[in-house]
Structure 1
Amino acid sequence: MKKFVVTIAGGGSTYTPGIIQMLLENQDRFPLKEIKLYDNLASRQEPIAKAMQIYVRDNYPDVTISYSTDPKMAFTGVDFVMAQIRVGLYDLREKDEKIPLKYNVVGQETCGPGGIAYGLRSIGGVLEILDYMEKYSPDAWMLNYSNPAAIVAEATRRLRPDSKIINICDMPVAIETIFAAILDLPSRKDMIVRYYGLNHFGWWTSVTDKSGNDLMPKLREFVEQKGYAAETDDYQHRAQSWKDTYKKAKDVQALDPETLPNTYLKYYLFQDDIVMHEDKNFTRTNEVQATREKEVFAKAHKIIEADSAKGISFATGSPHASFIVDLACAIAFNTQERMLLIVPNNGSILNFDQTAMVEVPCLVGKNGPEPLAMGNIPTFQKGLMEQQVAAEKLAVDAWIEGSYSKLWQAITMSKTVPSAGVAKQILDELIEANKQFWPELK
């Protein structure tokens, strides 16, 4: 069986060790020859990379692991690129959150003005990697989970239409894992789901078992009482902000009791409540810096100092890690697995913008995803999605054209923002913060 070469772009991410461990543990279905790490910030990547070299040496000596800031080395002879870049790092994420919050607007890394700001930083970084791939490994697939996926997907659809990129998100996978726990099923793969929406902006309309039995009534009953706060190990180890998010699904679901919502909808439907309960001086960025960021780098330095990874393991429970292996296998071995992916609409949702990047179930094989038909969608969801997709398209217009007015329109269009005046105040501060990463706006 062929052994694959995988590059992880964003090698300095705190998620990298878990993804590497997940890849290594799944070699029975996805054999590895080499894992390459690539990052344009050597100082951040090096401790992660050195620790993982020791880990692989001690546990999987048949696999090679290398790291580089040189695109030619990182992207030559590669089968898959798993992209998880964060342009601007946590310094800019913190501004994405705190600048909108100054104006009592949702401050979140993928939603509202913060998500738009992050999107404008991410577009150039993802395009750059796609161009490296085209130059050095034109047959490779990019499995992209760099945020915000909706804006990145719209930009790559327009600017690199022939690229072999699949945009993915782990949140639906995480929620379906909760569904499985509520239903006492061994795995989310024991369910067949119907879902439609945009990234971080969608609804489940059907959940059945493989025999076709309707599981929605039991799920709705649970969610109406507890949201997605199922008493799983994953839930118990979540930060309080995530526990609050899972509980809030109860309120979001009440708006349309026939469906089950993506958790991120809370930012668009309960903006005032979210802002009211937010600590404007200690946001999610600060929480991550105080926990996962410190823990992962401390573990990496411990491995390097001991020159041993004996007895050390990294968390692989992150849904996107296992989802990535599933997706790579589907492409490599033409498994036709059913997965939720972000793809051009092209008829999947009949009464919606056909050029929109929507998130729907797809069958995945060697030629990539084939979206399934979701039919017509109701007025409530259609209206919300049209407003959101307009904001995303305007943001990409702004990046392409260097247009201040288009970006002002994009932020104004976001349902998280109360007025054009507030949108302009936030935009002007975001421009100042993002001078190094955004195109010049006129």
Structure 2
Amino acid sequence: MNKHSVLIAGGGSTFTPGIVLMLLDNLDKFPIKELKFYDNDAERQETIGKACAIILKEKAPDIVFSYTTEPAEAFSGIDFVMAHIRVGKYAMRELDEKIPLKYGVLGQETCGPGGIAYGMRSIGGVLELLDYMEKYSPNAWMLNYSNPAAIVAEATRKLRPNAKILNICDMPLGIEMRMAEILELESRKEMDIRYYGLNHFGWWCDIRDKAGNDLMPKLKEHVAKHGYVVQEELSSQQHCDASWLDTFAKAKDVYPLAPDTMPNTYLKYYLFPDYVVKHSNIEYTRANEVMDGREKFVFGECNKVIEQGSSADCELHTDDHAEYIVDLARAIAYNTKERMLLIVPNNGSISNFNSTAMVEIPCLVGSNGPEPLSIGEIPLFQKGMMDQQVAVEKLVVEAWIEKSYQKLWQAITLSKTVPSASVAKFILDDLIKANKDFWPELN
């Protein structure tokens, strides 16, 4: 097996150590000769980089490791870019969540006005990474899981149509792991799934085991009662953050709207926005939870590793989505034709839906990239919701390209989370002030 050179773009992210640990766990399947980090925040990356250098020296000393803020150094001589950047970091995420809540509209990282604001920041950042990759390593592939994936994917489709980029999301994977637990399976890989939608906006329409047995009835029975909350949480209530537990539980209310399918948990934001607002605390949103939780934990553990010069007693661990990235890189490197959910141009896969929409559907992945599977026609309820949401995403990208206030106002107005055009305008004007250092200046 050839050894690969990998760049993690977003080297200062709290998710980076988990990806490094997952790569180390999978060296037999995906050998690495060189690992690099790139970030535009040198100080933040330094802490993660120093800790990972110690971990790599202990576990895989033959891997050449470096981290840098210089694009030419980072992007030269690489085979894969694993990109997870957050333009504006958590300080801007906090504003994405809190500004809409001021007006009684949900504040969420990728959904509604907060997701639109984040999208307007992310487009330029991801395009910059793509252009560096194309300039310095034109044969490399970018595996992008920078959020909001739907808006970023639409921007890359429109502005870099020939780029070697695969846009992915780990949320369906996380739900499938819960499904496997509900079904008492060893792994989500024991399931064959059919799924369709947009990113953070989709439905499973068929789930079977490898023998072809239908697993949906058992899943439906559980989800109708408990959502995606698993047995351990039902008994202990300690498995994950309260906000996530609520999201997994709320699936029991989302499910009856389309009971022939199983919903993505993010649909709660579009179908029950009043519930979400009522259960939100404008003083302490998810961004605050992450800054006080994950952020402090990861940087605390990294500092501990640096101080003791060893990863002994280190509690850093692999992330769920890291496994998915390894599988995707392997599929491209070794032409495995693994079946994976990706965000790709529809091009008729969903026969009664916009052909230029970036849809999330199963694909067979090989050395030439993804081969999307045919989904056929989807029901009117799901199609209607997707038509509305894909229009929002396209308007955001057009607003970014044209620097159009009008189109961004239309996008926020059209979001199912926003009650009126006047509320949309209040939110937009506040977001423009907050994002003056990140958005194009709108006309």
Query: Which residue number in structure 1 is paired with residue 338 of structure 2?
Result: 337
Distance 1:356 1:235 in 2: 39
Which digits, 9 at most, give the CA deviation of each residue in 1:127-148, with x for residues without a partner? 0000000010000000000000
Query: Which residue number in structure 2 is paired with residue 432 of structure 1?
Result: 433
Q: Write the letter of the residue equivalent to 1:237.
A: H
Query: Which residue number in structure 2 is paired with residue 362 of structure 1?
Result: 363
Contact 2:167 2:343 in 1 (8 A): yes
- Percent identity among equivalent residues? 67
Post-superposition offset of 1:236: 3.8
Contact 2:304 2:314 in 1 (8 A): no
Query: Which residue number in structure 2 is paired with residue 304 of structure 1?
Result: 306
Q: Write the letter of the residue equivalent to 1:157.
A: R
Query: Which residue number in structure 2 is paired with residue 246 of structure 1?
Result: 248
RMSD: 1.0
Contact 1:196 1:359 in 2 (8 A): yes
Post-superposition offset of 1:237: 2.8
Query: Which residue number in structure 2 is paired with residue 33 of structure 1?
Result: 33
Query: Which residue number in structure 2 is paired with residue 259 of structure 1?
Result: 261
Distance 2:59 2:167 in 1: 31
Query: Which residue number in structure 2 is paired with residue 372 of structure 1?
Result: 373
Which digits, 9 at most, give the CA deviation of each residue in 1:317-349, with x for residues without a partner? x22100000000000000000001100000100
Distance 2:389 2:275 in 1: 20
Contact 1:195 1:360 in 2 (8 A): yes
Contact 1:9 1:81 in 2 (8 A): yes
Which digits, 9 at most, give the CA deviation of each residue in 1:227-265, with x for residues without a partner? 000135898431000000000000000111111000000
Contact 2:198 2:343 in 1 (8 A): yes
Distance 1:25 1:228 in 2: 28
Contact 1:229 1:235 in 2 (8 A): no
Q: Write the letter of the residue equivalent to 1:44.
A: R
Post-superposition offset of 1:311: 3.4
Contact 2:301 2:315 in 1 (8 A): no
Query: Which residue number in structure 2 is paired with residue 389 of structure 1?
Result: 390
Contact 1:390 1:410 in 2 (8 A): yes
SS at match of 2:266: helix
2:196 equivalent to 1:188: no
Q: Write the letter of the residue equivalent to 1:269.
A: L
Which digits, 9 at most, give the CA deviation of each residue in 1:63-117, with x for residues without a partner? 1211000001111000000000000001100000000000110100100000000
Distance 1:211 1:235 in 2: 34
Distance 2:63 2:36 in 1: 11
Query: Which residue number in structure 1 is paired with residue 271 of structure 2?
Result: 269
Query: Which residue number in structure 1 is paired with residue 67 of structure 2?
Result: 67
Distance 1:441 1:297 in 2: 37
Identify unmatched segments of 5+ residues in structure 1: none
Identify unmatched segments of 5+ residues in structure 2: none
Query: Which residue number in structure 2 is paired with residue 348 of structure 1?
Result: 349
Distance 1:22 1:303 in 2: 18
Q: Write the letter of the residue equivalent to 2:438.
A: F
SS at match of 1:263: coil
Post-superposition offset of 1:313: 4.4
Moved more, 24-33 or 301-310: 301-310
Query: Which residue number in structure 2 is paired with residue 121 of structure 1?
Result: 121
2:272 equivalent to 1:285: no
Distance 1:215 1:235 in 2: 26
Post-superposition offset of 1:312: 2.0
Distance 1:160 1:232 in 2: 45
Distance 1:232 1:394 in 2: 42
Distance 1:215 1:114 in 2: 36
**Structure 1 residues 413 and 186: CA distance shift in structure 2, 3 A:** same
Q: Write the letter of the residue equivalent to 1:93.
A: R
Post-superposition offset of 1:169: 0.2
Post-superposition offset of 1:308: 1.5
Which digits, 9 at most, give the CA deviation of each residue in 1:164-193, with x for residues without a partner? 000000000001111111111111110101
Query: Which residue number in structure 2 is paired with residue 423 of structure 1?
Result: 424
Query: Which residue number in structure 1 is paired with residue 18 of structure 2?
Result: 18
The count of corresponding residues between Structure 1 and Structure 2 is 441
Q: Write the letter of the residue equivalent to 2:400.
A: W
Distance 1:389 1:268 in 2: 13
TM-score (norm 2): 0.98
Q: Write the letter of the residue equivalent to 1:150.
A: A
SS at match of 2:213: coil
Distance 2:237 2:320 in 1: 13
Contact 1:103 1:426 in 2 (8 A): yes
Contact 2:197 2:203 in 1 (8 A): yes
Query: Which residue number in structure 2 is paired with residue 224 of structure 1?
Result: 224
SS at match of 1:212: coil
Q: Write the letter of the residue equivalent to 2:274.
A: D
Distance 2:71 2:134 in 1: 12
Q: Write the letter of the residue equivalent to 1:36.
A: K
TM-score (norm 1): 0.99
Q: Write the letter of the residue equivalent to 2:77.
A: G
